[in-house]
Structure 1
Amino acid sequence: MSEDIDPRNEPAPFGTLVLLTAASAVAVMGLSALLSQPPGLKWLLFGPIALVAFEMVVHEVWWQRWWGAIPGAVAGLALYFEGRATLSDLVGDVWAHPVAYVAAWTLFAAVFALCSRYPRTLRPT
């Protein structure tokens, strides 16, 4: 007897998700550098979040595999704030923000994609 495999139960594609999220973060930083006024928080979050949502919709990643967004966000935020402070001492304030931003989104995508390999199961109550 062959079981039907639900395509939504496939994990997020690691390489594609990480590379596209990193490229999206680089593109957002590149566009923000070209703008005369610094962009707001909504602009900085739009590109990578839209890309991760797009990947989930296109690849139909099942909602039980989305739990990885929480540890990914925590790790990414920690890397951004700690990394930005450390990088400002090493490379200066001008480069600290873009490098920390791209690194944080890349870490977020990597943690999310790794966590998607382990679906969260619901226990009946």
Structure 2
Amino acid sequence: MSDLRNEDGDGEPPTRPEEDPRNEPAPFGAVVLLTAASAVAVMGLAALLSHPPGLKFLLLGPIALVVFEVVVHEVWWQRWWGAIPGAAAGLALYFEGRAALADIVGEPWAHPVAYVAAWTLFAVVFALCSRYPRTV
């Protein structure tokens, strides 16, 4: 008779590879909504400051949130590759979108709207890319 105990010896059946927690992608809704909300919060805080915020300030909130989501939900390190195309898409949307929005809604609104949209696109691409590759 085969031994059905797992490595811990607690009598539980062994875990199958498809149950590997590293297969869990980043939670799409949570990552996208929380990243967008943190971008809105950063823009709101920036509006309260009398001087324009620096680049470090603008990157702090959403990056910290994405890192927190990755650490808390144990997204496998090989899934982080989605940050690269997400950053490229977000930067393209920010610079192109800000220029286009400046003509439509004016310069004061173009920066915050493009900033939030860019971080939201980054989170969408990152969360979608976190679904691949699957471990076997």
Percent of pairs identical after alignment? 83
- Moved beyond 2 Å, runs of 4+: none
- Alpha-carbon distance between aligned partners in 2 of 1:8 and 1:117, rounded to the nearest angstrom: 10
Distance 2:57 2:126 in 1: 21
Report the counterpart of residue 36 of structure 1 in structure 2: 50
Deviations 1:105-125 (A, max 9, x none): 00000000000111278xxxx
TM-score normalised according to structure 1 size: 0.92
| Contact 2:23–2:134, Cα closer than 8 Å, also in 1 | no
Instruction: Say whether the 8 Å CA contact 1:64–1:120 is kept in structure 2.
Output: no
Matched, 1:90 2:107: no
Show the 5 A alignment for 1:101-120.
101-119=115-133
- Unaligned 5+ runs, structure 2: 1-13
Q: How big is each residue's C-alpha offset from its partner over 1:28-71, in whole Å with a ceiling of 9 and x where there is no partner?
A: 00000000111100000000000000000000100011010000
How many Å separate the matches in 2 of 1:32 and 1:75?
23
Which of 92, 95, 105 is residue 78 of structure 1 equivalent to? 92
Contact in 2 for aligned 1:76/1:105 (Cα 8 Å): yes
The residue that corresponds to 1:15 in the other structure is 29
Label 1:92 to 1:60 Cα distance change in 2 as closer, same or farther (>3 A): same
Mean Cα deviation higher: 112-121 or 51-60: 112-121
Distance 1:8 1:48 in 2: 23
Give distance in 1, aligned partners of 2:45 and 2:65. 16
From 59, 62, 66, give the equivalent of 1:45: 59
How well do the aligned residues superpose, as a CA RMSD in angstroms?
1.4
TM-score (norm. length: structure 2): 0.85
Amino acid paired to 1:61: V
